Structure 1
Amino acid sequence: MRNELPSAKEMQSYDSATIEAGTDSLVLMERAGRSIFEFIIDNYKDCLHAGSILTILAGPGNNGGDGLVIARYLLEKGCFVKVVVAASDKYSVEFSKQLSNFRDCVTKSQAKLTECLYLFGENRSELDSLSELSSVDKKQLKQILAESAVVVDALLGTGTNSEPRGEIGAIIETVDRWQTAESAPIISVDVPSGLNVDSGQAYSPCISADSTVAIELIKRGMLQHPAKVHCGEISQISIGIKVDGASQFELLCEDTVAEVPVRNPNSHKGSFGQVFVVGGCRLMPGAPMLSAYSALRSGAGTVYMTSFVGGVQLAAPAELMHIPILDKEYFDSECFPLILSRLEKASAAVIGPGFGSSEKIRPFLAQVLTVLQEKNIPAVIDADALNHLALEIGKDGFELRNHVITPHPGEAARLLKTSTEQVQADRYKAVEELYLRTGATVVLKGASSIVYHGEKGWVNQTGNPYMATAGSGDVLAGIIASLLAQGLDCVESAKLGTFVHGLAGDRAHAQLSGPIIASDIIEAIPGLL
C-alpha cells in the first residue's frame, strides 16, 4: 500500500506522466477494470449466485470507461450484467472505445443488447454505440437497482468540484432514495460519485458506497469526513501509474514516522529531557496533570507541572514534581517569577491546558512565549493558550516557529477568524492557513488528524471515536512534549506523537471493550514507544 495521498491535480499529473512515458490510457483503463472485477469476484462471492444481476452505473468520462471494462469482464465470466449509461452531450474517447468493446462482448455472448445496456435520459450525442438502447427513467432505474445483487458506481471521478447535475445528479438521487441497510452493496470506482477528493466534501447528492476501490492511490479527501463515511471500506489497487514526485500529503504510518532514539545503556534521567507543563487554574487542575503524566509515561526523564494550591485537589502520581501557585484563581503576571527558573531549565514545555479564559492570563502568556523564544525551548501550545493567542494573532511579539500547536476545529476557527464549519469543510486548507499565520508545526485534531509543516502534511488513521473524551487532547500534548524533550524535532514529535496517541486509544478501547477516558489512553502508552 502506497502512502501518498494526492490531490486531484497531483493524481492527474501522475496519470499524464505515465501516459507520456508510453503506457496507453486504454491499457491503464483495462488494468483498472480487470482489477476491480477481480475485487468484486473475491469479495462479493455471496452476492454472485446464478441469475444474480450486477448493475454498472456509468458516467460519460473515463470513470465510466472503467465501469464498462468491469461490465465486460463480468459478462465474459457468465454474470448477468446491466449497464446504465448517463446521457450526455459528450463522451470521452476512452469511454466510447470501451462502450464499443462492451457491445461486441454482448454480441459474442448472445445476450440481448436491450437487456444489458440502458441509457438514462435522452440521447443527445452522435455516438453510434448509444443507438438502439433502451431508455430508462428514475422509476425504471429504481426497479433495476431493486433487482441487483451488486451495484458499481462508475459515474464520476476525481475531477468533481461541484454538485452533480443533470442525468448524473438524477441517477445519484435515485440511488440515494433506493438505498437502505438491506439493499445491494455499492462499490465505487476510485471515488464515490459526488465527492470532492481534495477537501473531503460530499456534495448533494453523493453516493454512499459500501466499498471504494482506489486506483493506484487513495486521494487525500477520502480520509476526511464526511468523505470517509461515503467511501465505506477503502481498498487500493495498483495499475502501474508512475508516481513521479511526492504528494503534498502522505499517510501517517509506521513507514512515515521517526523512531524514538535508542537509549544508551549508560543513560540517566537527564538524558531524556525535562518537560515543564504550565497550565491549570484553581478550578481546573486536571488538564495539566494529564499532560504531565502522559509526558512521563512517554519517556521524559523528569516532568514538572504547575499546581494551584487551595483549589480542587487531585491525587497526582508521585513521580510528578510540582511548582505551587499560591493564592491565585488564574495565572497572571505576578505568577511569572514563580515559574521562570524552571521554565528556563526545561527541554520542552506544554503551555495552556486548563488555563481558563481570564484576561489576566494574556500578559503572563506573552512573558512565557518570550522566554521560550529567547531560550529556544520548543513547546506544545494547546487549549486555552490557543484561545488567548487567537485574540492577539496578527500582532507582533508571538513567534511560534519553534513550537507545535494542537488546535481542535473550534480553536482552529478562532485562530483563523472563521467558523468551525469552514474549518471542517476543508481541513487541508485550514492547516495550511494555520501554518502560514503562525509558522508552527500544526496538529489539527479530530477524526483523521492532520500534521502539517511547511509544504508537507501527514494524515493520521489511528484512533477511534471513543477518544472523543475530556482530556484526550491534553494527553496528546504531553506525548508530543515528551518526544521533544527526548530530542526529536517539532515535525517528527508531532507526527509520532499523533500516531502513538491514536494507537494508545485503540489499545485502551480494545482492552476495555467500551468507552474510555483520558487516563486509560495514558496507561496504554507503555510498549508503544
Structure 2
Amino acid sequence: MAAAASGTRKELLAKVHKMVPPMLETFHKGQLGRVAVIGGSEDYTGAPYFSAMASAKLGCDMSHVICSPPASATIKSYSPNLMVHPYMRLSNALEKPDTEASVQKAVLAMLPRVHVIVIGPGLGRDPLMQSTCAAVIKAAREQNIPFVLDADGLLIAQEQPELVQGYTECVLTPNVVEFGRLAKARGLDVKSFEDESQVCAALAKAYGGVTIIQKGAKDYISNGEYTYVSDGEGGKKRSGGQGDTLTGSIATLLGWRRAYLDKLWDHGGELTEKETLALAAFGGSAITRECSRLAFVEKGRSLQAGDLTDKVHQAFLNVVGEKDESKL
C-alpha cells in the first residue's frame, strides 16, 4: 500500500466522523450537500433513484436527478422527495427544436446549483447521453466540482481518459471487470502486481491522482497517495444495484467534505483536501457494506438493491456515528 496508508478501520472511520457536520440551527438549506445524479435512460430508472435516495437518506440537503423524459416520469413516481429534471435526451428521441447543444446547455446550467455530481447510474451507452456527460465532466473540471463516475459513466474514463486525467476531484467506482478495462486503457498490467492492494494505487497514479474504489470482497481505495482497505462485513447476496447506494453515499460525504473544508463549523481542521477525498470514498464504502449486511440479515436471499436504501441511516449510525453537539 502507499506510504500514507496508515490507521485501522476504526481510526479511519473516526476521521470520517470529523467531516460529519453537526446539526446546527444556524445552517440554512443547501449548505450540507446539494447532489445531482445524472443518468436514467428509457430502460434504466432504478439506478439513479437508488443513488439519489441513498444520498438523501444519508443526509444531503438537496438531491437532484437529471435524466431522460421517459425515466423522469417513472422516477418521480418513486418518491416526491427527489427533484427530477428531464433534461437528458436519447439520440433517437432528439426532436426539434432540441439540438445536442441545447440539451448540453440545459444540463450544464444545473451545475452551479450543486456541490457534487454522480455520473452513470442508469445512463446507458447512447451516444448523445454519453457526449452530454462528457460535456458535464469538462464543465465540472472548469468549475472545480467533484464528480463520481460509475457504471456506463466509467466508459467515458475508459474511452476518453484525458477527460479525467489529473483531475483529483474525481472518484471512479469500478467493479472487477470495469477495473480491468480502465487499467487496459492506461496500459497497466494488473497481473504484474504481487500485492493486490498496490494495483488500485498504481491505477490511481496512472490516471494522475484520481480516487479509485476497486470494488470486491474487499474494497481497495486509493488516490495514489492515500490507500485504504475497506473490509467491513457485508451481505452475502450480490444483487445488481448495490453500487448505486455507494455512489450516493460518497456524494453526500463529498458534500459534507466541502462544508468541512469551508469551515462552516468550528473544528480542528487537521484533515487535508486530498485526505478528506480518500476518506469520503472510504466512508461511502464502509456505509454501503454495512447497509448490505443489515439488509441481508433481514431479507436473506430475497435481498434487492432497494432494501439497502432503508438501511442507509442506521448503517451511518453504526459505522460513523452522529455528532455529539453537546461537545461542540
- Report the TM range for the smaller structure's normalisation: 0.7 to 0.9
Take 1:403 and 1:493, find their aligned partners in 2: how far apart are those partners?
12
CA contact (8 A) 1:348 1:481 kept: yes
Query: Which string of whole-angstrom CA distances, capped at 9 and with x for unpartnered residues, describes residues 418-446 of structure 1?
Result: 79984998532321222112221111111
CA contact (8 A) 1:251 1:460 kept: no
Take 1:380 and 1:326, find their aligned partners in 2: how far apart are those partners?
18
Instruction: Determine which structure has the larger helix proportion and give its number.
Output: 2
The number of residue pairs the alignment matches comes to: 284
CA contact (8 A) 1:252 1:495 kept: no
- Following superposition of structure 1 onto structure 2, how do residues 91-110 of structure 1 map, counting pairs within 5 Å? none
Corresponding residue for residue 400 of structure 1: 167
Corresponding residue for residue 312 of structure 2: 525
Query: Which string of whole-angstrom CA distances, capped at 9 and with x for unpartnered residues, describes residues 264-285 of structure 1?
Result: 1333332212101111211112
CA contact (8 A) 1:310 1:326 kept: no
How far does residue 248 in structure 1 lie from its aligned partner after superposition? 5.4
Which one has more relative contact order, counting CA pairs under 8 Å at least 6 apart?
Answer: 2
How far does residue 320 in structure 1 lie from its aligned partner after superposition? 0.1
Secondary structure of the equivalent of 1:337?
A: helix
CA contact (8 A) 1:344 1:371 kept: no
Deviates more, 1:260-269 or 1:518-527: 260-269
Amino acid of the structure 2 residue aligned with 1:460: S
Take 2:79 and 2:8, find their aligned partners in 1: how far apart are those partners?
32
Take 2:128 and 2:193, find their aligned partners in 1: how far apart are those partners?
31
Secondary structure of the equivalent of 2:139?
A: helix
Moved over 6 A (4+): 418-421
Take 2:192 and 2:239, find their aligned partners in 1: how far apart are those partners?
21
1:483–1:265 distance in 2 versus 1, CA, 3 Å: same
1:398–1:323 distance in 2 versus 1, CA, 3 Å: farther
Query: Which string of whole-angstrom CA distances, capped at 9 and with x for unpartnered residues, describes residues 86-125 of structure 1?
Result: xxxxxxxxxxxxxxxxxxxxxxxxxxxxxxxxxxxxxxxx
Take 1:307 and 1:361, find their aligned partners in 2: how far apart are those partners?
9
Identify the match of residue 433 of structure 1 among 174, 199, 202: 202
1:497–1:273 distance in 2 versus 1, CA, 3 Å: same
- Following superposition of structure 1 onto structure 2, how do residues 74-113 of structure 1 map, counting pairs within 5 Å? none
Q: Does 1:386 align with 2:154?
A: yes
Q: Does 1:301 align with 2:61?
A: yes
How far does residue 396 in structure 1 lie from its aligned partner after superposition? 6.3
Q: Does 1:375 align with 2:143?
A: yes
Take 1:334 and 1:426, find their aligned partners in 2: how far apart are those partners?
48
Secondary structure of the equivalent of 2:105?
A: helix
Corresponding residue for residue 267 of structure 2: none
Q: Does 1:481 align with 2:242?
A: no
Take 1:299 and 1:388, find their aligned partners in 2: how far apart are those partners?
29
Corresponding residue for residue 222 of structure 2: 452
Take 1:327 and 1:387, find their aligned partners in 2: how far apart are those partners?
18
Take 1:409 and 1:308, find their aligned partners in 2: how far apart are those partners?
28
Take 1:392 and 1:326, find their aligned partners in 2: how far apart are those partners?
20
1:458–1:328 distance in 2 versus 1, CA, 3 Å: same
Corresponding residue for residue 261 of structure 2: none
Query: Which string of whole-angstrom CA distances, capped at 9 and with x for unpartnered residues, describes residues 228-287 of structure 1?
Result: xxxxxxxxxxxxxxxxxx965456623212111222133333221210111121111221
CA contact (8 A) 1:306 1:325 kept: yes
CA contact (8 A) 2:30 2:61 kept: yes
Take 1:423 and 1:366, find their aligned partners in 2: how far apart are those partners?
31
Amino acid of the structure 1 residue aligned with 2:74: Q
- Following superposition of structure 1 onto structure 2, how do residues 137-216 of structure 1 map, counting pairs within 5 Å? none
Take 2:294 and 2:171, find their aligned partners in 1: how far apart are those partners?
25
Secondary structure of the equivalent of 1:367?
A: helix
1:440–1:322 distance in 2 versus 1, CA, 3 Å: same
How far does residue 357 in structure 1 lie from its aligned partner after superposition? 1.8
Identify the match of residue 323 of structure 1 among 63, 69, 85: 85
CA contact (8 A) 1:252 1:499 kept: no
Take 1:384 and 1:499, find their aligned partners in 2: how far apart are those partners?
23
Corresponding residue for residue 277 of structure 2: 490
Take 1:267 and 1:382, find their aligned partners in 2: how far apart are those partners?
31
1:423–1:329 distance in 2 versus 1, CA, 3 Å: farther
What's the TM-score once normalised by structure 1's chain length?
0.49
Take 2:189 and 2:306, find their aligned partners in 1: how far apart are those partners?
27
Corresponding residue for residue 415 of structure 1: 182
Q: Does 1:287 align with 2:47?
A: yes
What's the TM-score once normalised by structure 2's chain length?
0.77
1:500–1:324 distance in 2 versus 1, CA, 3 Å: same
How far does residue 495 in structure 1 lie from its aligned partner after superposition? 1.2
For the aligned residue pairs, the C-alpha RMSD in angstroms reads 2.8
Take 1:479 and 1:326, find their aligned partners in 2: how far apart are those partners?
23
Query: Which string of whole-angstrom CA distances, capped at 9 and with x for unpartnered residues, describes residues 188-216 of structure 1?
Result: xxxxxxxxxxxxxxxxxxxxxxxxxxxxx
Take 2:194 and 2:250, find their aligned partners in 1: how far apart are those partners?
27
Identify the match of residue 466 of structure 1 among 223, 236, 255: 236
CA contact (8 A) 1:409 1:423 kept: no
Work out which of the two has the higher radius of gyration on C-alpha atoms and give 1 or 2. Answer: 1
Secondary structure of the equivalent of 1:254?
A: helix
How far does residue 498 in structure 1 lie from its aligned partner after superposition? 0.8
- Following superposition of structure 1 onto structure 2, how do residues 110-129 of structure 1 map, counting pairs within 5 Å? none
How far does residue 399 in structure 1 lie from its aligned partner after superposition? 4.4
Q: Does 1:256 align with 2:256?
A: no
Take 1:520 and 1:424, find their aligned partners in 2: how far apart are those partners?
37
